[in-house]
Amino acid sequence: MDYVGNIIRPPSEAYSLIIQVTVGCSHNMCTFCGTYKSRKFYIKDTDLIKRDIDEASKFGGSFRKAFLTDGDVLILPTETLLHLINYIRKKIPSIKRVGVYGNTKSILKKSKNELMELKDAGLGIVYHGIESGNKEVLRRIRKGAFPHKMIESANKITETGILLSQTVLLGIGGRELSINHAVDTGKVLSEMSPHFASALTLIVLPNTDLYKDYKSGKFILPDKFELLNELKIIIENMDVKRECFFASNHASNYVAVKAKLPREKDKTVALLEKIISSGDKNILRPEFMRGL
Ligand code: SF4
């Protein structure tokens, strides 16, 4: 398989066939993200991608899902993406669902009809990282999109029947914007009503712009319990229209919660309150076990 650089995929795609379609991220500007820093974004040659699919088809009979990387696969022309999804499903008929990462701009560039066509071909889930619902936080981290556009893009996905999975990032507002970040993130998630939402916790990486601010003291990372308080506030402020499976089980988090919202909201908030008020660091994931 022709894999260029580190391959990143959501935890829920751990058992999926991974096909690399783009290299890097079309945005590549977020101050906290070092994932694709050293790579220039490009779309891989279709024949090269098809060669990978051919190779995978020789042992791919057991795969039920495929995930297309890297950062922003929805930026592909719809025709190309349709061709690739159809090719995957023809060559590996056991694959019932194809997933991709998509950013706000790429989703908005697609028409409803294009998204419907993609869904009918087998695009079953879009992973959309919003990080925060707070406008000032999004401006500072150079996310390249603001809440109203993020909500518009999320609704565009769910209206077609494609599953939507949102990712938010605890700590990204720093201590200064911690509460605003959490409240607004909960509110924006409410307006999106994703099928899945997950929280990761910021780890400031040395190869990022944020690291310079962190080192100089301009950016102060909330402490462990302040981060858990953000998680609690996000869930408290989530008022979703459809059932949302919320998880903080990513390895970057100090506490893993899994909750079906809104049903398990009160129970989950109470659990987090109990952990926060205990102040007991021994029940948190130790630093050496955290990762991205
Ligand atoms: S966080 Fe996502 S959109 Fe931002 S630079 Fe990293 S991969 Fe690209």
Whether the per-residue pLDDT at 127 is higher than 90: the answer is: yes
Nearest 5 degrees, angle CA 53-CA 112-CA 165? 60
Residue with the nearest Cα to atom 6 of ligand 1? 33
How far apart are alpha carbons 52 and 17 in whole angstroms? 11
Give the residue from 111, 109, 22 showing the smallest Cα distance to 72. 22
**pLDDT tens, position by position, 52-64:** 999 999 876 789 9
Give me the amino acid identity at 68: L
Over residues 41-67, the mean pLDDT reads 91
* Cα 28 to ligand 1 centroid, rounded to whole Å: 5
**pLDDT-based confidence at residue 7 (cuts at 50, 70, 90):** confident
Which residues are CB-contacts of 264 (< 8 A; sequence separation ≥ 6)?
A: none
Over residues 66-73, the mean pLDDT reads 93
Find the farthest-apart pair of alpha carbons in the chain and give their distance in angstroms, rounded.
57
With residue 141 as reference, give the H or E element that holds it.
none
- The predicted pLDDT at position 94 comes to 94
Over residues 251-271, the mean pLDDT reads 97
Q: State which ligand 1 atom lies nearest to the alpha carbon of 70.
A: 7
What stretches of the chain adopt beta strand conformation (E)? 17-20, 22-23, 42-43, 65-69, 97-101, 123-131, 163-170, 196-201, 244-247, 258-261
What stretches of 41-136 adopt beta strand conformation (E)? 42-43, 65-69, 97-101, 123-131
Query: Hey, which of 36, 104, 139 would you mutate to test ligand 1's pocket, going by the most ligand atoms within 8 Å of its Cβ?
Result: 36
How far apart are alpha carbons 15 and 193 in whole angstroms? 26
For residue 178, give both structure tokens. Answer: 């911690």
**pLDDT-based confidence at residue 161 (cuts at 50, 70, 90):** very high
How far apart are alpha carbons 126 and 155 in whole angstroms? 12
Q: State which ligand 1 atom lies nearest to the alpha carbon of 25.
A: 8
Residue with the nearest Cα to atom 5 of ligand 1? 28
Q: Which residue has the higher pLDDT, 69 or 37?
A: 69
* Cα 15 to ligand 1 centroid, rounded to whole Å: 23
* Cα 37 to ligand 1 centroid, rounded to whole Å: 9
Residue with the nearest Cα to atom 4 of ligand 1? 30
User: Tokens 């499903």 appear where?
Assistant: 89
User: Which residues form ligand 1's pocket by a CB distance below 6 Å?
Assistant: 25, 27-30, 33, 35-36, 71, 103, 129
Over residues 24-42, the mean pLDDT reads 90
- The predicted pLDDT at position 5 comes to 85
Query: Hey, which of 8, 9, 28, 139 would you mutate to test ligand 1's pocket, going by the most ligand atoms within 8 Å of its Cβ?
Result: 28
Distances (CA, A) of 110 to 75, 81, 133: 9, 12, 22
Whether the per-residue pLDDT at 35 is higher than 90: the answer is: no
- Mapped onto helix, strand or coil, the DSSP state of residue 277 is helix
Neighbour count for residue 263 (Cβ, 10 Å): 11
Beta bridge partners of 179: none
**pLDDT-based confidence at residue 131 (cuts at 50, 70, 90):** very high
Q: Which residue has the higher pLDDT, 169 or 4?
A: 169
Asked if residues 92 and 17 have their Cβ atoms less than 8 Å apart, the reply is yes
Query: Hey, which of 7, 23, 29, 30 would you mutate to test ligand 1's pocket, going by the most ligand atoms within 8 Å of its Cβ?
Result: 30
For residue 132, give both structure tokens. Answer: 């925060």
**pLDDT-based confidence at residue 88 (cuts at 50, 70, 90):** very high
What letter would DSSP give residue 254?
A: S
In this structure, CATH architecture of domain 11-286 = Alpha-Beta Barrel (3.20)
Over the chain, what is the mean pLDDT?
Answer: 95
Over residues 150-168, the mean pLDDT reads 97
Over residues 122-138, the mean pLDDT reads 97
* Cα 122 to ligand 1 centroid, rounded to whole Å: 25
Whether the per-residue pLDDT at 209 is higher than 80: the answer is: yes
- The predicted pLDDT at position 60 comes to 62
- The predicted pLDDT at position 8 comes to 83
- Mapped onto helix, strand or coil, the DSSP state of residue 91 is helix
Q: Is the entire prediction scored with pTM above 0.85? A: yes
Which residues are CB-contacts of 18 (< 8 A; sequence separation ≥ 6)?
A: 3, 7, 9, 66, 67, 69
- The predicted pLDDT at position 27 comes to 92
> What are the sequence ranges of the domains in the chain?
11-286
Which residues are CB-contacts of 170 (< 8 A; sequence separation ≥ 6)?
A: 199, 200, 201, 202, 222, 227, 230, 231, 248, 253
* Cα 27 to ligand 1 centroid, rounded to whole Å: 6
Query: Hey, which of 7, 33, 205 would you mutate to test ligand 1's pocket, going by the most ligand atoms within 8 Å of its Cβ?
Result: 33
How far apart are alpha carbons 136 and 181 in whole angstroms? 9
* Cα 107 to ligand 1 centroid, rounded to whole Å: 15
